[in-house]
Structure 1
Amino acid sequence: MAPVDFEAFVDELANVSGTTILPFFRSALAAEDKSGGGNFDPVTEADRGAEAVIRQKIRAMFPSHGVMGEEYGSERLDAEFVWVLDPIDGTKSFISGMVGWGTLIGLLRNGQPCYGMMHQPFTRERFSGDGGSAKYRGPGGERTMRTRSCAGLADAVLYTTSPRLMVEADRALFSAVEEKVKLSRYGGDCYAYAMLAMGLVDLVIEANLQPYDITALIPIVEGAGGVITTWDGGPAQAGGRVVAAGDARVHAAALSLLQAG
């Protein structure tokens, strides 16, 4: 049997999900709050529709594979291959008409991230990686992505979606890193990791992530030459507190401050 071309299949998933999502972008789309009274956590018809069509494609092509998704839960997590889906990562940006969102399609093999794509259908950009390499495809063409060299925090550009998403103790640790960097910016969600892989951002620090927020991004960051772990230096695919860096020196410097608490 010929090996499965997962890259081509993920492109199909990106196509169908993008077609589902785009009619809702910058429209009078209502968002439901699924937080249960906590921090506003929106979900839209676009989120649900996109995940449903991706799951349908996966079931038809790979009925033995598992799936974990933000909107419709998990099935067959003990399978050799498990798809990890976030139909719109950055829903708050999506409902605000901003472009810092994307569809995350990740694949685990025996529990380890082996392929990931971040698709931004509005800008027609795709960022993908398999842990060994990473590439960009968009209106400007196609090219290999590599993170950039950065000697230390004083030279680093740092991104986080928002410090308000962190608990107070984590926010204090993040601030200790933020005080050391050259430039700190907020927003971006999955897009910040893609920019790190492209060599435009040096450091991304987040907390309270779910597996579907980060799994697809790990093979992209690592494939571009970056480092991505939890704040305690462990594997990042379970989510939680995550730090990604384009240069191992910046990663080590950030970890030393994040672990100070």
Structure 2
Amino acid sequence: MTDLREFAAFAERLADVGRRSALHWREQALETRDKRADGAFDPVTRADRETEAAMRAYIERHYPDHGINGEEMGAVAGSSPYGWSLDPIDGTRSFLCNLPSWSILVALLEQEQPVLGVIDIPMLGERLIGWASHCWRQKGEQRAIAKASGCRTLEQARISTTDPYLFSDQERNAFDRVRRAALLTRFGHDGFAYARLATGDIDLVLESGLEPHDRNALIPVVRAAGGAVSNWRGEHDFADGCLVAAASGELLRATVKLLQEA
């Protein structure tokens, strides 16, 4: 527990490094390229690359034995059981559109499993930190416990996904069953939606196609806030990139049941 407290403090300093870099490069004329060749626009900017480089350098100075796995620069193995997962700008499309919902994601991994997460939202001056049963929201100088809403039923649930057009046909049909049962649906928030789940403002998030750097920070934050997380089958293997995050176990189970209907 002492180690995680130490790591939580370090993760916040690491997020500060990322925030300064991302805000600096946001003010520059950004070089942007498309990472995909299949026609689906997947942008990466100089801000993504410079921010990840700054964060990696900070880890290497303080924990040279830790592994690092980032979206833009790949994985470097360490000799320690601990490692760091980095998404320097989650929501690059929002970043390019000057929307405030992009975030910086930091996770501490122990034996490859995420045990601590930070969702930093630079444009709002806000941060969610979660590990074990500890989750708090930092807004300026104010820090308060963050807690999921506890919503139990789909009929009362406010749900979100980043983009329904990213789903396969089968996934979209499954998502639509959940959407029709829910109270309301909002789109386009990437990792920011999970921050809002942790603060009780969204009740359910469903996504597919997530890479480890997309999800590693989100899982410990949601769980620490009292929420529940699984894949679309109700299991804890996220290798297929499908994730459900819910404000309660009851809501998670009801969602998984609908997702699995033929």
TM > 0.5 fold call: yes
1:152 offset after TM fit, Å?
Answer: 0.7
**Do the aligned partners of 1:26 and 1:95 also contact (CA within 8 Å) in 2?**
no
Structure 1 partner of 2:260: 259
Higher deviation after alignment, 65-74 or 14-23: 14-23
Higher deviation after alignment, 46-55 or 116-125: 116-125
Equivalent residue runs for 1:3-14 within 5 Å: 3=3, 5-14=6-15
Structure 2 partner of 1:224: 225
1:49 offset after TM fit, Å?
Answer: 0.5
Structure 2 partner of 1:85: 86
**Do the aligned partners of 1:106 and 1:117 also contact (CA within 8 Å) in 2?**
yes
**What amino acid does structure 2 have at the position aligned with 1:209?**
L
1:25 offset after TM fit, Å?
Answer: 2.6
CA offsets 1:141-179 (integer angstroms, 9 cap, x no match): 110011112231010000000111111110110001000
**What amino acid does structure 1 have at the position aligned with 2:9?**
A
Large movers: runs of 4+ above 4 Å: 236-239
**What amino acid does structure 2 have at the position aligned with 1:38?**
G
SS of residue paired to 2:99: coil
Q: How many residues align?
A: 260
Q: Distance in 2 between matches of 1:246 and 1:159?
A: 12
**Do the aligned partners of 1:215 and 1:237 also contact (CA within 8 Å) in 2?**
no
- Structure 2 unaligned segments of length 5 or more: list them: none
Equivalent residue runs for 1:27-176 within 5 Å: 28-76=29-77, 79-139=80-140, 141-176=142-177
Q: Distance in 1 between matches of 2:34 and 2:142?
A: 38
Return the TM-score normalized by structure 1: 0.94
Higher deviation after alignment, 61-70 or 3-12: 3-12
SS of residue paired to 1:114: strand
Structure 1 partner of 2:21: 20
**What amino acid does structure 2 have at the position aligned with 1:64?**
D
Change (3 A) 1:182 1:56: same
**What amino acid does structure 1 have at the position aligned with 2:93?**
K
- Structure 1 unaligned segments of length 5 or more: list them: none
**What amino acid does structure 2 have at the position aligned with 1:165?**
L
**What amino acid does structure 2 have at the position aligned with 1:136?**
R
**Do the aligned partners of 2:66 and 2:79 also contact (CA within 8 Å) in 1?**
no
Change (3 A) 1:198 1:24: same
Q: Distance in 2 between matches of 1:92 and 1:163?
A: 15
SS of residue paired to 1:179: helix
Higher deviation after alignment, 214-223 or 19-28: 19-28
Q: Distance in 1 between matches of 2:48 and 2:114?
A: 23
Change (3 A) 1:3 1:240: closer
1:82 offset after TM fit, Å?
Answer: 1.4
Higher deviation after alignment, 206-215 or 11-20: 11-20
Q: Distance in 1 between matches of 2:86 and 2:29?
A: 25
1:108 offset after TM fit, Å?
Answer: 0.8
Q: Distance in 2 between matches of 1:16 and 1:9?
A: 11
Change (3 A) 1:236 1:92: farther
CA offsets 1:39-98 (integer angstroms, 9 cap, x no match): 110000000011001111111111111111100001117741111110000001000110
Structure 2 partner of 1:205: 206
**What amino acid does structure 2 have at the position aligned with 1:177?**
V
**Do the aligned partners of 1:68 and 1:77 also contact (CA within 8 Å) in 2?**
no
Q: Distance in 2 between matches of 1:61 and 1:40?
A: 36
**What amino acid does structure 1 have at the position aligned with 2:42?**
D
Change (3 A) 1:81 1:58: same
**Do the aligned partners of 2:65 and 2:78 also contact (CA within 8 Å) in 1?**
no
Q: How high is the sequence identity, in percent, across the aligned residues?
A: 38
